[in-house]
Amino acid sequence: MVYIVNYSEGIVNPSIRTDDESPKPERPYPNSWLSSRRKQHARNRQDVRRQLQYCFQAAYRRRGGLLYDYQDKHLRNLPCKRVQCDEIWSFCYAKERNVPEEKRGEFGIGDVYTWVAIDADTKLVPCWLVGKRDAEYAYGFIHDLSERLANRVQLSTDGHKAYVVAVEDAFGVGVDYGHAGQAVRGLWCE
């Protein structure tokens, strides 16, 4: 037991304890009642999250289409000089290797890539595309980009081979095209 002394009044108070032997305060309600209240509170939070998610999805459906239409209409004849293209990997539901057999092949489940073109000078994103990482999506993405640019550009991409055919078909000789590879121990790798 630890005694606390108030030196200004010279009083020793043995009833105040500061060690681990201090009595625990009694709960005004039984534990079962508290746990059921916590569970109900968690259910209410989940309901609120579901409602908010539904509202955001509905707003995205309404406004997302409007934003896409606005970008498609107004981002034309752009005076870009240097454009960089790349893909950003993400996944929906599960990574490709973890998708169950019954869901394989469904659109929007597994690996998803966001194809992005960005103007190196102004940081404007003239076009983007969400889909798989194959030649079909590369072709559509590069053709969309070529329709938005007003003049000859310097285009750089990563070493993804699907870009080569798509750039040649969309731009022809109207582009200065280069792709970045990786240098590994003095060797150039694509």
- Asked if residue 63 has pLDDT above 80, the reply is no
Mean predicted lDDT score pLDDT of the chain: 76
pLDDT in tens, 25-53: 555 555 555 566 666 666 666 666 666 56
Q: What is the pLDDT of residue 82?
A: 94
- Asked if residue 6 has pLDDT above 50, the reply is no
Q: What is the pLDDT of residue 178?
A: 85
Confidence at 14, pLDDT banded by 50, 70, 90: low
User: Crossing angle for the helix pair 162-171 and 135-148, nearest 10 degrees?
Assistant: 30
CATH entry 3.30.420.10 includes domain 78-189: yes
Q: What is the pLDDT of residue 145?
A: 94
Share of the chain above pLDDT 90, in %: 31
- Asked if residue 81 has pLDDT above 60, the reply is yes
Q: What is the pLDDT of residue 92?
A: 85
- Asked if residue 96 has pLDDT above 60, the reply is yes
Contact between residue 127 and residue 147 where contact means Cβ atoms under 8 Å apart: no
Q: How many CA atoms lie within 13 A of 136 on its CB side?
A: 3
Considering the entire predicted model, what is its pTM? 0.62
Residues paired with 59 in a beta bridge: none
Confidence at 1, pLDDT banded by 50, 70, 90: very low
8-17, 62-71, 155-164: lowest mean pLDDT where?
8-17
- Name the one residue in this structure whose structure tokens are 């997302």: 64
Quick one: which of 133, 149, 143 has its CA closest to 168? 143
Instruction: Please report, for the chain, the start and end positions of each structural domain, with discontinuous segments joined by +.
Output: 78-189
- Strand 187-189 and strand 175-179: the pairing is unpaired
- Asked if residue 2 has pLDDT above 70, the reply is no
pLDDT in tens, 120-163: 999 999 998 888 899 999 999 999 999 999 999 999 998 888 99
